[in-house]
A and B are shown apart, each in its own frame.
Chain A
Amino acid sequence: MADSTLLSLVLYLPVAGMFAVAAVPAGREGAVRALTLGAMLLQFALSLVLYAHFDPAVPGLQAATHAPWIPAWGVTYSIGLDGYNILLVLLTTFLGPLVTAGAFSAITKDVKLFYAMVFLIQFAMLGTFVAQDLFLFYLFWETMLIPMFLMIGIWGGERRIYATIKFFLYTAFGSILMLAAVIYLVYSLWATTGITSFAFADLYKARLPLEAQQWLLAAFALSFAIKVPMVPFHTWLPDAHVEAPTAGSVILAGVLLKMGTYGFLKLGFPLFPDATRLAVPLLSTLAVVSIVYGACLALVQEDIKKIIAYSSISHLGYVMLGLVSLDLLGIQGAIVQMVSHGLVAAGLFLMVGMIYERCHTRELAAYGGLAKLLPVYSVFFLILTLASVGLPTTSGFTGEFLVLMGAFAAGWRDSAGGSSYALWVAAAAVSGVVLGALYMLRFAQRFLFGAERVPHGPVGDLNLREGAILAAIVAAVFWLGLFPDSAMKRTELAAREYQELVSAPRQPVTKLTGTLPAPEAAR
């Protein structure tokens, strides 16, 4: 089968799954669960084939499909894999079966609708990653909100309505301004080059004056920064995470937040390079503030879900720092960090969900000494904690280390140019590593060790299903930590392309007025 067909199959399998689930007669919940898990596993297997077929030496799109859609507007249906999205596609399809299996015991209400929504969100997320046309990207980007809105609102906790509406309104506000920017961008592309197109490849050619670039970057960046989320646009995240069902939290932390950083990587920065380079001090400051502030907030939380929610803010700050370092290692580190955080945060949220199902509380103070009571659980928990802290051999180390190398490289580069600000930023980012160790180890210490305490005990250790889910995640964490080469190889060309796109000036070439002074006269 051709790779392009395979990619379409991976993308549309969830749609088929959604209708299949809807067609299952009421009351057959076991069938719904089995069907969903089967489809998700098949999807992951197919995307593994795509990953294996992906040729790291070929620049540009692979397994692509292009078809005209709305010719009058220059909108094409265009999807494909490249170094930017290959890892994220794999991450999404990897988490799909785990989310599904993780929800088997937790979701007992409206089961059909729930799995239909899991399928829909899977479809929208994959679509956002593989879309190569801005209109299509925006469609998928926005579609993602609907299943997430329902997921938090229907299966969430106590304050779920408040949390889900806050989530929707926050993200929709960013999107509405981005929509205006998208239209303006396409219009200016047409005005300057005569091409009417939404294709990413064409949009990279737009030459915009600096002022326009700054406005457009602001609009795109607001939308993406809300999604990441970067401080100060992060306030929706703790509410959404805490109120969401486990599956919702896993999808949010695992994939959805990466939409924001992916948006910066693929669109925000390369489309408006001149404005980006000017904004680097601001963006790197915000990234470091996110790292440190997120970590500080995580340090003082008493709700175990909130600790992980705030740690997400901190970890995604590294991704942003890597992206704005404009250093090859930093950029590749950012991509690895995206995947790593996707795995680790998803795993931790799944573990929180597992303990919550047993004990019905997320109060950290209510727990203690789980290492003795639930040994298997504790082993997995400790591994994921250490991965989150960034211990060598885990994926967290690869990501954070590369990002910090990139940040320092950028710092030396700038200080050679006479500005030491970037160096200070990089130094401040290192403190995030220490803080990260502090809050995660404090969490693990109070959770796993000390006096043995579980609410509503006694509780049983992990069952086979739960163990298998966590084993898969831990295996992936070590794979990325020990053998990052396979993943790094596939992203290298994209990282280079991104670096070139953002580094080269792209303002309109204005006609020179007057004549250049002759060398002699200048002297």
Chain B
Amino acid sequence: MNTAAALTAMAPEHLLLAGIVVLILLEIFAERSHAALPMAVAFVATAAGAAAWLGFTGWTGAPFPGQFVLTPPAAFAKAILLALAVPVLLFSKEDFGEGPFYPLFLASLYGVCLLASAESFLTLFLGIEIMSIPVYVLVLLGYRRPEAAEAALKYLVLSGTASASFLMGASLMYGSTGSLGLASFATALSSPDLLARTAVVMVVSAFFLKAAIVPFHGWAPDAYEAASVPSTAYMAVLVKAGVLVAAARVFGTAPVGESLVGLLVILPLVSIVWGNLTAMRQPGLRRMIAYSSIAHAGYLFFAFVGDGPTRFQAVVFYLAAYGVMNVLAFAALPANADDRERDRLENLKGLFHTHPFAALLIGMAMLSLAGIPPFPGFIAKFLIFKNVIAAGYTAWAVLGLVGSYLGIYFYLRVIQFMFMSPAAASSGHAPSRGIAMGASLLCLAGSIAIAFLPAFFLTRL
């Protein structure tokens, strides 16, 4: 093993680790300092920069052969995900203030980064656990509602089930193919062996559970609703991204043919339809976003159909477009002393007249999530369904698109509330906050880049 290579290839991870250490020390020795947020932002941004630099220089190599591999697309994926974390950090200030939030957040990000480079089931499992464990705490931390404990426990138990299923699948895989490398999954996919097939099903259902695919989605609405806004944004964007990137790593470039398409597409299709239909009836924004993200997880699994060389690209591009808009919506959401009031969709009524800029940004985010051009969500959705049709599964693509049509209504309803209704009597929105506005501007810049220069991202992923 080459030390220099290990230092370079894992530079983003090392920077995050350094950040965690510094933040813990800060927490212990300087409890009242205000340095934690800038420090955390600096470390995450530098890590994102390092990942992007690795990608631009085309650094390729495996410092830990068979465990950890870095390719330019993986480096760019890390850069994008870390960049998405920056605005989440920025608007977490008022919910978490100073405190243990930042080291936990960075620790979870470390897991996300590891996933993009994992080369064996062991590393992958490590990544998933490092990513998930801090999130159980984040749901509870800075909670504003008593249900947070219940939601965190629910998430913990179901997530644990997913981990168990994943481990079981990995061990069966080892039994069947004699290897823990991710390449063995491709072998198992095409193997007629019952053991290998069981392993595939267990691993896939673990991903379904973690990504909240119907019928494994029960934890998501509760956890998203009970957690504070930054935690919800983190779960909806980065944890989901981590899981999908992990799934993309596992599937690699293995072809997903006729016999597997059913397994991979039916439940996601049900998720799209169910998520979109259920989201229509939600009175709260976070619950609505939870169901919307269940539907989006469905679209993301559509990207797995087909021969596979464009799979990673499609997944990461979709995650970038979906993530930036979700974060934008949360960042632009006006603050409110009462968490329940802040969450109520009815309270967004007339927002355009009190906070026009916030309303425009949220409206943009909603249209993008609905997949309406010219916003980035459309281009991402286009990419996924283009791949499905190119793979020859036109009927599935049409069903998926019609499912996505069902989602338009509830996004429009948010816009209707903000622009077309008179202001709610008791909205009690606080004035907009500078730092959260900065976060939304960052997201806005990112989404403009994705919408108008998609080729820049596509050629690099």
Chain A residues in the interface with B (C-beta under 8 A)? 68-73, 110, 113, 138-139, 142-143, 145-146, 149-150, 153-154, 160-161, 164-165, 168-169, 172-173, 176-177, 179-180, 183-184, 186-187
Contacts and interface: CB of A to CB of B under 8 A. Distances in A.
Report the 7 A-B pairs with minimum CB-CB distance, sorted nearest first: A142-B373, A139-B373, A153-B420, A70-B455, A176-B405, A183-B389, A180-B398
B420 A177 contact: no
A187 B390 contact: yes
Interface string B188-229: 000000000000000000000000000000000000000000
Contacts of A160: 420
A138 B373 contact: yes
A173 B405 contact: yes
Contacts of A173: 405
Interface in B435-461: 454-455, 458-459
Contacts of B382: 179, 183
A113 B374 CA distance: 19
Contact of A179 (B374, B401, B415): B401
A29 to B, nearest CB: 15
Contacts of B454: 70
15 contacts: A68-B455, A69-B455, A73-B386, A73-B458, A110-B352, A142-B378, A143-B373, A150-B419, A153-B420, A172-B372, A176-B401, A176-B405, A180-B398, A183-B382, A184-B389
B404 interface: yes
Interface string B257-294: 00000000000000000000000000000000000000
A146 B405 CA distance: 15
Contacts of B161: none
B52 interface: no
- Name the residue among B372, B458, B459 with the largest chain A CB count within 10 angstroms: B372
A37 B13 CA distance: 56
B408 interface: yes
A186 B419 CA distance: 38
B397 interface: yes
Nearest to B385: A183
B281 to A, nearest CB: 16
Contacts of B401: 176-177, 179-180
B455 A161 contact: no
A508 to B, nearest CB: 18
Given A72-B455, A73-B386, A142-B378, A180 B394 contact: yes
Given A143-B373, A145-B372, 15 more contacts: A70-B455, A73-B386, A113-B356, A139-B374, A142-B374, A153-B420, A154-B420, A160-B420, A168-B408, A172-B372, A176-B404, A177-B398, A180-B397, A183-B389, A184-B394
Contacts of A176: 401-402, 404-405
- Name the residue among B378, B390, B416, B459 with the largest chain A CB count within 10 angstroms: B416
Contacts of B420: 150, 153-154, 160-161, 164
Nearest to B398: A180
A113 B418 CA distance: 13
Contact of B385 (A71, A164, A179): A179
Nearest to B367: A146
Given A177-B401, A183-B385, A165 B374 contact: no
Contacts of B455: 68-72
Contacts of B56: none
Interface string B296-318: 00000000000000000000000
Contact of B408 (A69, A172, A180): A172
B409 interface: yes
A406 to B, nearest CB: 35
B412 interface: yes
A161 B416 contact: yes
Nearest to A156: B420
A187 B390 CA distance: 6
Contacts of A161: 416, 420
A514 B389 CA distance: 35
Contacts of B390: 187
Nearest to B405: A176
